[in-house]
Amino acid sequence: MYELKVITNFSAAHQLKDFQGPCESLHGHNWKIEVCVTSDTLNETGVVIDFRALKKHVNAVVAGLDHKFLNNLDPFKDQNPSSENIARYMAEQLALVLNGPTIKVSRVTAWESETSCATYYPS
């Protein structure tokens, strides 16, 4: 089994409704996003996927989040834009364009600080 990881960043504001703590107030983070894909096989050039292609797909999803108020975006209208939900959203969006017979999105981690992150493992 091979696993590839790409890392990117984005900045955005959010607030966690009904949180009953400081994160209920409007605030922002500089998120670090780690995306991992797995495959049992390599293609004819000896790679799972070209890192440039993987980064292109990841950056396309991140572009919709960067410098936004996440609560106003459709994916987060009915759920809090927590690190957990951001990781899941990214995994689901990337699975639509990456998952195939030989490659799968295996996990996405959303770091909201240097010491706090949430990881989503698609089933």
For residue 58, the enclosing domain spans: 2-120
Q: Which of 57, 92, 112, 117 is catalytic?
A: 112
- Cα angle 91, 9, 14 (rounded to 5 degrees) comes to 80
pTM for the model: 0.94
**Has 36 been annotated as catalytic?**
no
Of how many residues is the chain composed? 123
Q: Which residue carries 């049992």 as its tokens? A: 40
Catalytic residue among 23, 84, 92, 117: 23
CATH number of the domain enclosing 59: 3.30.479.10
Residue 41 tokens read as 């096989």
Give the pLDDT score at 68. Answer: 98
Based on the residue annotation, tell me whether 27 is a catalytic residue of this protein: no
Two tokens, residue 22: 């400081």
Number of domains in the chain: 1
Distance CA 122, CA 107 (A): 7
From first to last of the 123 residues of the chain, give the pLDDT tens digit.
999 999 999 999 999 999 888 888 889 999 999 999 999 999 999 999 999 999 999 999 999 999 999 999 999 999 999 999 999 999 999 999 999 999 999 999 999 999 999 999 998
Q: Which one of the listed residues 34, 67, 84, 114 is annotated catalytic?
A: 67
